[in-house]
Amino acid sequence: MNQLLGIDSRLVDPAEIARLCPELNLSSKVTWPVLGALYHPPGGIIRHDAVVWGLARGADRRGVEIHPYTEVTGIERSNGRVTGVRTTRGDVACETVVSATAGWSTLVGDMAGVPLPITTHILQAFVTEPLKPFLHVVIVSSQMHVYVSQTDRGEFLIGAEIEPYTTYRGTSTFAFLEDSARHTLELFPQLERAKILRQWTGLCDISPDYSPILGVTGVAGFLVSCGWGTYGFKAAPIVGTTLAELIATGRTPQLIAPFGLERFYTDTLVSELAAAAVSH
> Are 203 and 77 in contact, with CB atoms under 8 Å apart?
no
- Identify the band that residue 72 occupies on the pLDDT scale cut at 50, 70 and 90: very high
Q: What would the pLDDT profile of 183-241 be if each residue is shown by its tens digit?
A: 999 999 999 999 999 999 999 999 999 999 999 999 999 999 999 998 888 899 999 99
Superfamily of 48-118+208-266 according to CATH: FAD/NAD(P)-binding domain (3.50.50.60)
The SS3 call for residue 20 is helix
Q: What would the pLDDT profile of 100-150 be if each residue is shown by its tens digit?
A: 999 999 999 999 999 999 999 999 999 999 999 999 999 999 888 899 999
- Identify the band that residue 272 occupies on the pLDDT scale cut at 50, 70 and 90: low
Beta-carbon contacts of 68 under 8 Å, excluding residues fewer than 6 positions away, are none
- Identify the band that residue 170 occupies on the pLDDT scale cut at 50, 70 and 90: confident
CATH of region 10-43+120-206, choose from 3.30.43.10, 3.30.9.10, 3.10.105.10, 3.30.450.370: 3.30.9.10
What is the distance between the alpha carbons of residues 123 and 79, in angstroms, rounded to a whole number? 39
Beta-carbon contacts of 193 under 8 Å, excluding residues fewer than 6 positions away, are none
Q: Is the pLDDT of residue 43 over 50?
A: yes
* pLDDT the model gives residue 280: 46
> Are 271 and 153 in contact, with CB atoms under 8 Å apart?
no
Beta strands per DSSP E along the chain: 10-12, 37-39, 72-78, 81-87, 90-93, 97-99, 119-128, 139-141, 146-150, 156-159, 196-206, 213-215, 222-226
- Identify the band that residue 44 occupies on the pLDDT scale cut at 50, 70 and 90: confident
Q: Is the pLDDT of residue 271 over 50?
A: yes
* pLDDT the model gives residue 5: 78
Q: Where are the domains of the chain?
A: 10-43+120-206, 48-118+208-266
Task: Name which residue leads in pLDDT, 170 or 74.
Answer: 74
* pLDDT the model gives residue 240: 95
